[in-house]
C-alpha cells in the first residue's frame, strides 16, 4: 500500500530534489524530512502546503493518493485557522457542532480556529469530509 511517505519520496525524485534541499525549503533538519519519507512523522499543515507547492501537486494527492484534477493558486493561501472558520460558518455550524462531528473536545476545535494548534492528518481528512472540500481547499489553497 502506498503511503504519504512513499508519495512524498516519489514526488521528490520526480522533481529531482535531494532530501537536503527539501529540508532547507521546509526549514527543518535533514533528519526531520527523512522521517516524512519513512512515515515516522507527518508534516504540519504549513509543511504539507509547502510540499504540495514544491512538487506541483495537490496536498490531497500527497495524503490520499487521489488526484483532484484542480489547479491551485500557489501564492494566495488563506491561513488554515481562517479557512476552517469560513467553512464552518458556510455550513451554519457552531464550533461545538463541528467538534462533536469530529469526535473531539470543543476546546480542541477552538484551538484550530484560533491558530493555537493543528489537527493531525486523520482529523484533517474528517474536516475535509465534514465541509465537503478537498484537503487543499481545507488547507487554504484557492483554486485558480
Is the pLDDT at 144 greater than 90? The verdict is no
**pTM for the full predicted model:** 0.85
pLDDT category of residue 71 using cuts at 50, 70 and 90: confident
Secondary structure letter of residue 141 according to DSSP = E
Q: What is the reported pLDDT for 59?
A: 94
pLDDT per residue as tens digits for the range 109-126: 999 999 999 999 889 999
Is the pLDDT at 74 greater than 90? The verdict is no
Percent of the chain with pLDDT over 90: 83
Q: What is the reported pLDDT for 93?
A: 97
**For the residues of 41-100, what is the DSSP string, one character each?**
S---HHHHHHHHHHTTS-HHHHHHS------EEEEEE--HHHHHHHHHHHTT--HHHHHH
Rounded distance between C-alpha atoms, residue 77 and residue 136, angstroms: 10
Rounded distance between C-alpha atoms, residue 120 and residue 35, angstroms: 16
Domains of the chain: 4-72 (1.10.260.40), 74-143 (1.10.260.40)
Q: What is the mean pLDDT of the chain?
A: 93
Is the pLDDT at 30 greater than 80? The verdict is no
| Average pLDDT value for residue range 53-58 | 92
Q: What is the reported pLDDT for 73?
A: 82
Greater pLDDT, 17 or 144: 17
Amino acid at each position: 500500500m502506498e503511503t504519504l511517505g512513499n508519495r512524498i519520496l516519489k514526488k521528490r525524485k520526480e522533481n529531482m530534489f535531494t532530501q537536503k534541499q527539501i529540508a532547507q525549503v521546509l526549514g527543518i533538519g535533514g533528519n526531520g524530512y527523512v522521517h516524512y519519507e519513512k512515515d515516522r512523522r507527518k508534516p504540519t499543515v504549513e509543511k504539507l502546503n509547502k510540499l504540495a507547492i514544491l512538487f506541483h501537486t495537490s496536498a490531497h494527492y500527497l495524503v490520499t493518493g487521489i488526484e483532484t484534477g484542480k489547479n491551485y493558486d500557489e501564492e494566495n493561501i488563506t491561513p488554515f485557522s481562517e479557512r476552517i472558520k469560513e467553512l464552518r460558518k458556510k455550513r451554519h455550524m457552531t464550533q461545538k457542532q463541528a467538534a462533536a462531528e469530529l469526535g473531539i473536545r470543543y476546546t480542541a476545535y477552538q484551538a484550530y480556529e484560533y491558530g493555537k494548534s493543528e489537527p493531525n492528518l486523520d482529523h484533517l481528512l474528517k474536516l475535509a469530509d465534514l465541509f465537503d472540500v478537498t484537503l487543499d481547499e481545507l488547507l487554504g489553497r484557492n483554486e485558480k
